[in-house]
Amino acid sequence: SQTIHQWPATLVQPVGSPLSLECTVEGTSNPNLYWYRQAAGRGLQLLFYSVGIGQISSEVPQNLSASRPQDRQFILSSKKLLLSDSGFYLCAWKLGANVLTFGAGSRLTVL
């Protein structure tokens, strides 16, 4: 069966520090992968999506970037975190045509 892993689960970082959040998927190949951010009162905001290795589309211009170095690995990064980057980051993959399946999320607090 397919599973999706995210780490770290929680992270507290100072403003200006770098960020790396990792997502891996097991049990499938060539999945569409997505990064969402959930901030209080703003719902789930699509940040990036990827249809294959090295192929990244950005939905919202921001302080973050994404990379897909391997078929089942999706990484969210920042060179210098801002306070506004705090939130709950969710990785997801697309199963079939209709279903987006989410990981357990990574909670980032920027101080």
Partner 1 sequence: QQQVKQSPQSLIVQKGGIPIINCAYENTAFDYFPWYQQFPGKGPALLIAIRPDVSEKKEGRFTISFNKSAKQFSLHIMDSQPGDSATYFCAAWEGRGSTLGRLYFGRGTQLTVWP
User: Tokens 């970082």 map to which residue?
Assistant: 13
Q: What six digits make up the tokens of 80?
A: 């210098």
Indicate which single residue of 12, 15, 82, 100 sits in contact with partner 1 (rule: CB under 8 A).
100
Among 59, 63, 70, 82, binds partner 1 (CB under 8 A): 59
Q: Does 62 bind partner 1 (CB under 8 A)?
A: no
Residue 93 engages partner 1 in binding (rule: CB under 8 A): no
Q: What is the dihedral of CA 73, 59, 109, 31, to 10 degrees?
A: -20
Which residue, 87 or 105, is less far from partner 1 as judged by CB?
105
Residue 101 binds partner 1, judged by CB under 8 A: yes
Amino acid at 48: F
**Cβ nearer to partner 1, comparing 14 with 43:** 43
98 binds partner 1 (CB under 8 A): yes
Tokens 């770098």: give the residue: 18
Q: Which residues pair with residue 7 across a beta bridge?
A: 22
